[in-house]
Amino acid sequence: MNQENLEHTHNNSNMRKVALTALAGTSIEWYDFFLYGAAAALIFPTVFFGEETPSTALILSLLTFAAGFIARPIGGIIFGHFGDKIGRKKTLISALILMGISSTLIGLLPTYAMIGVTAPILLTLLRFAQGLAIGGQWGGAMLLVTESAPSNQRGYYGAFAQAGAPIGVILANLALIITSALVSEEFFNTWGWRIPFLASSVLIVISMYIQLNLEDTKAFKELVLHRNEQQDDAESVIQRSPIIEAIRKYPKRIILAAGAFISVQVTFYILIAFLLAYGVQSVNMARDDMLAAVLIASAIMVPVQFVFSSYSDRHGRRGIFMLGAVLSGLWAFAIFPLVDTGSFWLIVLAITGGLVFLAMMYGPQAAFFTELFSTEVRYSGATLGYQFGAIIGGAFAPTIAVKLWTELDIFWVSVYIAFAALLSLLSVMALTETYQTDLNKTE
């Protein structure tokens, strides 16, 4: 009995270490990704597109933001291939290092005034590198946690990987708020904005910790054993690309997973990127007030994600996911009337409501997507669904929102959010329940 207790304690301790390490890695990784989003809305239009009119500069800046999304499925394909071939841990480390280097280089980039058109070109290339990294990171961190978790707690532990997104938003907004508070406006717009990007080098330290302290998942180790035992028959399987195999075996699930993710992406990036520009330009809110509103709402989203993820462990993934899609679609029509009041706390309410309803989908999503695919193609299949949903939903969401707002009316941005929610609802309805799936099974 004592031996069993010791083993149970060791397993719990190891699971906590895996979960917290994944949380740290994904938080900093998303910090880099979202820091760019905030900078693209507030700083880069003047720093890298200074000769354009304000609205054109904003659109061009947000298009460089989209470059990261275009790269995400490519990163998903590359890292997914190696994640299913050589393991979750090594692939995650590579993605973290790539993000750390590319984000640090953005902080060192000369402005348009210094080197002309070369500046926005280099900015776009580095944003593309960020997208490659985020395309690989999510699958690695998510599988490291969910494949290691007890079968009845995959949703809960998967939420540690998912919590990296709102925590990344908090860290990015805090970095901008603190930096702008410590230096003059002139210094912030020329050099101060670089400091949060240069801080990204900490990702390389986290990568080394993962390399030295964490093992790969039990599911992947069993897959390796299975491959070794079946060498004569499995030679062709080993040589076949996991990406191609995932598409061959699960085309419908990949498409529906992408559809399920569209609402999360559209709403999330409108709330954390477009709304910053809208609040400053249309409602005359201070930049730091808008950043603070997003920060508070994101802080509320973190614990709520764990609640909904734990619920999905007991009652299934689909029901809570579909409810989140319905509520997100309805809340879309409350967001902008609340923001238009110009009241700080009503703006906080608008963003918080949106992020809480997103948490009903995003929290259980790591476990849901993990359970949709068998071990030998899980990294590839889950990543393809996630990243194609990201590019369809998130890549151009802030840009589309700007066009709808400036050329039609802000009401149509709400319609856009609601339509994305409907697509996600229909996609999840077409998927089967997964929460009792055996992750160690290979096909």
- DSSP readout, 107-120? HT---HHHHTTHHH
Tell me, what's the pLDDT at 145? 85
pLDDT in tens, 218-261: 666 666 676 666 665 544 444 567 788 888 888 999 999 999 99
Residue 226: its pLDDT value, please? 67
CA distance linking residue 304 with residue 15, whole number of Å? 21
CA–CA separation, 107 and 130 (whole Å): 13
Tokens 């994101």, residue?
A: 298
**Burial degree of 3 (CB within 10 A; 0-12, 13-18, 19+):** exposed
Contact 40, 130 (CB under 8 A): no
Contact yes or no for 60/201 (Cβ under 8 A): no
60 pLDDT higher than 80: yes
Q: Which amino acid is at 108?
A: L
pLDDT tier, 285 (very low <50, low <70, confident <90, very high otherwise): confident
* pLDDT tens per residue across span 297-346: 999 999 999 999 999 999 999 999 999 999 999 999 999 999 999 999 99
Q: Is residue 437 part of a domain?
A: no
Lowest mean pLDDT among 160-169, 197-206, 359-368: 197-206
Judged by DSSP in three states, 254 sits in helix
Residue 250 CB contacts under 8 Å (≥ 6 apart), including other chains: 372, 373, 377, 381
- 298: tokens are 């994101």
Least Cα distance to 26 among 147, 148, 134 occurs for 134
Q: What are 24's two structure tokens?
A: 């740290």
Q: How far apart are the C-alpha atoms of 75 and 84, rounded to whole Å?
A: 14
pLDDT at 351: 96
Does some domain include residue 330? yes
Q: Highest-confidence range of 247-256, 287-296, 343-352, 398-407, by mean pLDDT?
A: 343-352
Tell me the C-alpha distance between 443 and 143, whole Å: 18
Give dist(CA 169, CA 28) in Å, integer: 10
pLDDT at 290 over 60: yes
Which of 278, 277, 221 lies closest to 409 in space, CA to CA?
A: 278
pLDDT over threshold 80, residue 374: yes
In a domain, 434, yes or no: no
9: left (phi over 0), alpha (psi -120 to 50) or beta: alpha
Place of tokens 């889950």: 382
Question: Residues 81-106: what's their mean pLDDT?
Answer: 82
Q: Which of 209-213, 236-240, 312-316, 398-402 has the lowest mean pLDDT?
A: 236-240
Do the domain assignments include residue 88? yes
More confident residue, 422 or 78: 422
Please give the average per-residue pLDDT across 166-186, as a whole number: 83
State residue 176's pLDDT score: 79
- Whether residue 204 is contained in a domain is answered as yes
In the chain, the amino acid numbered 47 is V
DSSP state of 191: I
Report helix, strand or coil for 285: coil
Output the CA–CA distances (angstroms, integers) from residue 151 to 6, 146, 235, 424, 443, in the order listed: 20, 9, 31, 26, 19
- Helix, strand and coil content of the chain, in percent to the nearest 5, comes to 85, 0, 15
Q: Name the residue among 273, 307, 301 with its Cα closest to residue 402.
A: 273
The number of distinct structural domains making up the chain is 1
DSSP state of 153: G
Is residue 286 included in any domain, yes or no? yes
* Domain that residue 395 falls in: 2-429
**Ranges 257-271, 316-330, 362-376: which has the least confidence:** 362-376
* Amino acid of residue 189: N
Domain CATH for 205:
1.20.1250.20
Exposure letters 7-34 (e unless 16+ CB within 10 A, then b)? eeeeeeeebeebbebbbbbbbbbbbbbb
Are 416 and 401 within 8 A, CB to CB? Answer: yes
Q: Which of 206-215, 292-301, 347-356 has the highest mean pLDDT?
A: 347-356
Q: 67 and 158 in contact (C-beta within 8 Å)?
A: no
Q: Cβ-count burial of 338 within 10 angstroms (0-12 exposed, 13-18 middle, 19+ buried)?
A: middle
Decide: 78 and 136 in contact? Cβ < 8 Å. Answer: yes
Contact 278, 45 (CB under 8 A): no
Tens digit of each residue's pLDDT (9 = 90 or more) over 98-107:
888 888 998 8
Kindly report which listed range (9-23, 265-279, 417-431) carries the lowest average pLDDT score.
Answer: 9-23
pLDDT at 392: 86
| CB contact at 8 A, 45 and 58 | yes
> What are the residues whose beta carbons fall under 8 Å from the beta carbon of 79, sequence distance 6 or more?
91, 94, 95, 135, 136, 137, 139, 140, 379, 383
Average the pLDDT over 61-70 and give the result: 81
Identify the residue with better confidence: 8 or 102. 102
Q: What is the mean pLDDT of residues 277-300?
A: 88
Q: How high does pLDDT run on average in the chain?
A: 83
